[in-house]
A and B are shown apart, each in its own frame.
Chain A
Amino acid sequence: SQQGEEDPQALSIQEGENATMNCSYKTSINNLQWYRQNSGRGLVHLILIRSNEREKHSGRLRVTLDTSKKSSSLLITASRAADTASYFCAGNAGNMLTFGGGTRLMVKP
Chain B
Amino acid sequence: DAGITQSPRHKVTETGTPVTLRCHQTENHRYMYWYRQDPGHGLRLIHYSYGVKDTDKGEVSDGYSVSRSKTEDFLLTLESATSSQTSVYFCAISDNGYEQYFGPGTRLTVT
Contact = CB atoms under 8 A, between A and B. Distances in A.
Interface of A: 1-2, 30-31, 33, 35, 40-45, 48, 88, 92, 94-102
Nearest to A97: B100
Given A1-B59, A96-B48, A101-B41, A43 B102 contact: yes
Given A42-B90, A42-B104, A43-B90, A102 B42 contact: yes
Contact of B1 (A31, A42, A95): A42
Interface residues of B, number: 26
Given A31-B98, A48-B99, A101 B42 contact: yes
Contacts of A88: 42-43
Contacts of A95: 31, 48, 50, 94, 97
Interface of B: 1, 31, 33, 35, 40-45, 48, 50, 58-59, 90, 92, 94, 97-105
Contacts of A40: 105
Per CB-CB distance, the 10 closest pairs between chain A and chain B, nearest first, are: A95-B97, A42-B102, A99-B43, A101-B42, A43-B102, A99-B42, A45-B99, A42-B104, A42-B103, A42-B105
Nearest to B41: A101
